[in-house]
Amino acid sequence: MPHYRKLVGEKCYLSPPAPEDAEAWAAWENDLEVTIPLGDEAYTPSSPERTREMITDALKRGDHVFTIIDLATEQAIGRGMLFGVDLVNRGAMLGIVIGAKAYWGHGYGVDATRLLLEYAFTLLNLNSVMLGVFAFNERAIACYRRVGFREIGRRRQARIIGGQKHDAILMDILAEEFVPRRVIL
Catalytic residue among 13, 108, 119, 144: 144
CA dihedral over 31, 100, 147, 175, signed as positive or negative? negative
Whole-number CA gyration radius for the chain: 16
What lies within 8 Å, CB to CB, of 181 at 6+ separation is 9, 114, 118
Q: Is 13 a catalytic residue?
A: no
Backbone torsion region of residue 161, taken as left when φ is above 0, otherwise alpha when ψ lies between -120 and 50, otherwise beta: beta
Burial of 183 (0-12, 13-18, 19+ CB in 10 A): exposed
Active site residues: 144
